Amino acid sequence: MEDFEFPKVEYSEYVVRNRNEVFAEQNSRGQKAADWIASVVGSWRFIIFQSILLVLWVVLNVTGVVLQWDPYPFILMNLVLSTEAAFTAPIIMMSQNRQAAKDRLESHLDFETDQKSEREIRMILQQLEAQNRVLLRMAQMLHELQQEKGEDAA
């Protein structure tokens, strides 16, 4: 009966991990803030809001309806925009670095999943090969029995 033995199947306990959950566990408050600021600054809502604010700044200072706090050539406005750019550029770079780290993590988790899938496919193929050997042996035995039965009847 040794022909009917199947390979022992070992199931792994590895579970596919959600990269977003793994990445979120690693984020500090500063990193979360950088991602949030980058998402806000990189939105149409921010661009529209800032454009409206700049147009109001120019109109109010040119017309002099209110106190002209920044007359033409709007040096204070340039200072504010330069300061904003000086802070947002590094914050956006931090967020991009986090995104690159997230992409590396995703790549690593995909690799782990691929390795697990490859191991499982190999085990399945071994199991199918063993089943094919057993089926072939059973078919041969059945054929031999039929031949013996045919000879006994004759």
- Rounded CA gap, 25 and 19, in Å? 10
- % the chain with pLDDT above 70: 94
- Per-residue pLDDT at 74 exceeds 90: yes
Contact (CB, 8 A) for 72 and 61: yes
- Per-residue pLDDT at 122 exceeds 90: yes
pLDDT for 143 equals 94
- Rounded CA gap, 34 and 88, in Å? 9
- Per-residue pLDDT at 41 exceeds 90: yes
